[in-house]
Structure 1
Amino acid sequence: MKLYKIETEQLINASIEDCWDFFSSPKNLQTITLDNMSFEIQDFDDKRMYPGQIITYTLKPLLGIKINWVTIITVCKENQYFIDEQRFGPYKLWHHKHFFEPAEDGRTKMTDIVHYALPFGYLGRMMNSLVVENKLKTIFDYRYNKIEELFNSKL
């Protein structure tokens, strides 16, 4: 199994508490996801994030094909980090860590680290090179820009 990694960092003009309130709420996933992916939360218990929380949603990441995705919050330490993992979905493995640390001038440094693997062996590796890697870059670039708009464009 070939394991891939994506790592992003962003300085956010908000306190850790404000960042945590926004990013730890599944309701805000749609806000930071490309509109053309048709992201919709199907089910979650509408509680603050906690270990064991299950979130189900649908999206259309490629060619308008609808997929179901189920993630679970495996670890959660308020105002510091949380980890979500795919239980059912398009990846053989999806492990996404979100870290929040104090930065200068009251800002917050947010770091995302994703490890993922695709099914289908050699075919999956080809799909990553041809499609998936670029699609994930587009998704994370969009998130970066949306977060800039939401938090960092205020004067």
Structure 2
Amino acid sequence: MPCIKIETTIHAPVQRCFDLSRSIDLHQISTIETKERAIAGKTSGLIGLNETVTWQAKHFGITQKLTSKITVFNSPHYFVDEMVKGAFKSFKHEHHFEEINGQTQMKDRFDYTSPLGILGKLFDSIVLEKYMFKLLEKRNQVIKEYAESEKWKQVLLN
């Protein structure tokens, strides 16, 4: 099971970073290249405990749908989203936030299992793990950009 870990330091309050990370609207902004959009469940605003969202996006030339659910929620320090239905066999994405010296340390841990057994593992090692890392890294850079500027107001104050 691949495990992707990313740490991002953000010069902004922990609550702002936490809320931007669970914003459906900001997620859609950060995934504009894959045309990801929320089509069912929570489709805008801030997602919370036990809420689901179904995403539709184009990855590897194929339009896909994925439904995830917030299974753990401890504002503003930690939340987890897990796949309910989608292309993966399973995934669990942990989001950790800690304020240190006026900055937020945001840590992501993304564990997933691909379908198709040995073929899925081969696809992981050749393509998917790097692809997922880049998607998550891009998302975190957008969160950082919005949190450290006045752009956060466009997302959280609407």
C-alpha root-mean-square deviation of aligned residues, in Å?
Answer: 1.8
Give the structure 1 partner of residue 18 of structure 2: 20
Retained in 2: the 8 A contact 1:55–1:70?
A: yes
Give the structure 2 partner of residue 55 of structure 1: 53
- Where does the alignment leave 5 or more consecutive residues of structure 2 unmatched? 151-158
Give the Cα–Cα distance (whole angstroms) in 2 for the partners of residues 23 and 147 of structure 1: 7
Q: Does 1:79 align with 2:91?
A: no
Q: Does 1:110 align with 2:117?
A: no
Q: Normalising by structure 1, report the TM-score.
A: 0.87
Q: CA shift at 1:145, angstroms?
A: 3.2
Aligned residues: 149
User: What amino acid is aligned across from residue 109 of structure 1 in structure 2?
Assistant: Q
The runs of at least 4 consecutive aligned structure 1 residues that moved more than 4 Å come to none
Q: Normalising by structure 2, report the TM-score.
A: 0.85
Q: Which moved more, 1:127-136 or 1:24-33?
A: 24-33
Distance 1:18 1:50, change over 3 A: same
Give the Cα–Cα distance (whole angstroms) in 1 for the partners of residues 45 and 12 of structure 2: 23
- 1:100-139 mapped onto 2 (5 Å cutoff): 100-104=97-101, 106-139=102-135
Distance 1:54 1:8, change over 3 A: same
Partner SS state of residue 133, structure 2: helix
Partner SS state of residue 49, structure 1: coil
Percent identity, aligned pairs only?
28
User: What amino acid is aligned across from residue 104 of structure 2 in structure 1?
Assistant: T
Q: Which moved more, 1:41-50 or 1:113-122?
A: 41-50
Give the structure 1 partner of residue 30 of structure 2: 32
Q: CA shift at 1:44, angstroms?
A: 2.9
- Where does the alignment leave 5 or more consecutive residues of structure 1 unmatched? none
Give the Cα–Cα distance (whole angstroms) in 2 for the partners of residues 75 and 147 of structure 1: 21
Q: Which moved more, 1:121-130 or 1:42-51?
A: 42-51
